[in-house]
Amino acid sequence: MEMIYKKYEFNQVAVEAKFFYVENGVSECQAIFHLLDKEKNFAEQYRTLFNAYQIFFASELSGFTPVFKRYFLSDAANQQSYITDNQGAVSIVQQAPLDGSKVALWLYCQTNMKLLDRSEGVTSVLHGSYEHHWTGGRNISSGDSAQQTRTLLENYQLQLQRKELSISDNCIRTWFFVQNVDVNYRGVVEARKKYFETIGLNPSTHYIASTGIEGRVGDAAALVQFDAYAVGGLQPGQQRYLYAPTHLNPTYEYGVTFERGVCVVYGDRSHLFISGTASIDNRGEIVAVHDITKQTMRMLENVETLLCEGGARWNQVMSAIVYIRDIADYTTVKQLLEESLSDIPKVIVCAPVCRPGWLIEMECIAIIPNGNPEFPCL
């Protein structure tokens, strides 16, 4: 097994990619695509980016299958209709890339995967004992944020049940993108908590690693967009939740219901999904109010503590997404992240965090070559 970070440039598009190579098994790649020519209109930027994606895939990703993509747009209402790459689990969200471009792309792909389904909003793949089900871009247009959240979760449960799976047993990761998060997040929190109670998710069992963050879609009536990842074929003991109690408190102590992170253990590796993590302490309080530099450093410390609990280091992170509230903080944040996370594909976007006092948040995915031979390999 080998992990390699690479940089490419294709026709004014910079690509940061992290590869986890496995000689006889599933290799993995995550990549972030950044526009270098930021003067073009959106249609031209999207064509340039998608062309670079096609070149990158043809030249560097032979044998890989794309399992998930997320496009970050600067103005979804005027741009979403241009996105023609919408087959399978493709998430499109207004979270403006803060490098000045109108669009960026996060890509996750794997080798040796048998494609089971690539319908609208869903990519399902199979290898060995495991089915992987990625869902992207789910939203509805009726009701308030609580009603939309409840319906999205009910529909997702039905989607999994058709595959003889469930949210409580098989869902690894969720994302909730909330329009006007300062107003509408409360409805998401309340609806999620109530629905989770009906399916047996509570402080005595477990919740799900998650991000709840500002995000818009082209339809202004859609207040919540939902993305998710679930795995079929897991055995008891393959999911281990991460807490970092020296730095973070359980989320239910301040009224929300998600896990700080999860480590999914396979026979040949482990996947770590770190939830959206801000500058918080183990009492649930904001650390360094109004100070973007100190909040960024505390956020990184919190994420590092979660990674360490799962047995990972920064150089094993495959990708990171960083959300900041105030675009004026971009230069400061970019410099701090380049110093700390130089070999990690990452994108910094404008997306207010769920509590106004948090100026920054990040999430990431890591892979470590340590598994448990009692379980089948990925």
Neighbours of 277 (CB within 10 A): 27
The residue with tokens 């003889």 is 164
Mind listing the pLDDT tens digit for each residue in 138-162?
999 999 999 999 999 999 999 999 9
Q: In the 8-state DSSP scheme, what is residue 82?
A: G
- Asked if 8 and 345 touch (Cβ cutoff 8 Å), the reply is no
Mind listing the pLDDT tens digit for each residue in 211-229?
999 999 999 999 999 999 9
Question: Residue 41: pLDDT above 90?
Answer: yes
Alpha helices of 91-166 — where are they, by DSSP H?
145-161
Domains annotated on the chain, with CATH = 1-111 (3.30.1330), 262-372 (3.30.1330.40)
Mind listing the pLDDT tens digit for each residue in 104-139?
999 999 999 999 999 889 999 999 999 999 999 999
Per-residue confidence (pLDDT) for residue 18, from 0 to 100: 99
Compute, in degrees rounded to 10, the torsion defined by CA atoms 365, 123, 62, 112.
80
Alpha helices of 162-245 — where are they, by DSSP H?
167-170, 181-198
Per-residue confidence (pLDDT) for residue 120, from 0 to 100: 83
Question: Residue 247: pLDDT above 90?
Answer: yes
Per-residue confidence (pLDDT) for residue 271, from 0 to 100: 99
Per-residue confidence (pLDDT) for residue 246, from 0 to 100: 98
Mind listing the pLDDT tens digit for each residue in 51-60?
999 999 999 9
Per-residue confidence (pLDDT) for residue 89, from 0 to 100: 97
- Asked if 109 and 67 touch (Cβ cutoff 8 Å), the reply is yes
Question: Residue 86: pLDDT above 90?
Answer: no
d(CA 290, CA 120) in angstroms, rounded, equals 42
pLDDT average, residue stretch 299-323 = 99
Q: How far is the CA of 35 from the CAs of 39, 95, 248, in angstroms?
A: 10, 15, 36
Average pLDDT in the chain: 98
Helix (H) or strand (E) holding 77: helix 76-79
The token pair that represents 286 in the structure block: 């904001």
Tell me phi and psi for residue 12, to 5 degrees: 70, 25
Mind listing the pLDDT tens digit for each residue in 270-297?
999 999 999 999 999 999 999 999 999 9
Question: Residue 359: pLDDT above 90?
Answer: yes
Per-residue confidence (pLDDT) for residue 56, from 0 to 100: 98
Strand order of the sheet with strand 28-35? 2-9, 13-21, 28-35, 103-111, 64-73, 90-94
- Asked if 322 and 349 touch (Cβ cutoff 8 Å), the reply is yes
Q: Helix-strand-coil percent breakdown of the chain, rounded to 5?
A: 30, 40, 35
Question: Residue 87: pLDDT above 90?
Answer: no
Of all residues in the chain, the percent with pLDDT exceeding 70 is 100
The token pair that represents 232 in the structure block: 């079929």
Question: Residue 17: pLDDT above 90?
Answer: yes
pLDDT average, residue stretch 237-262 = 97
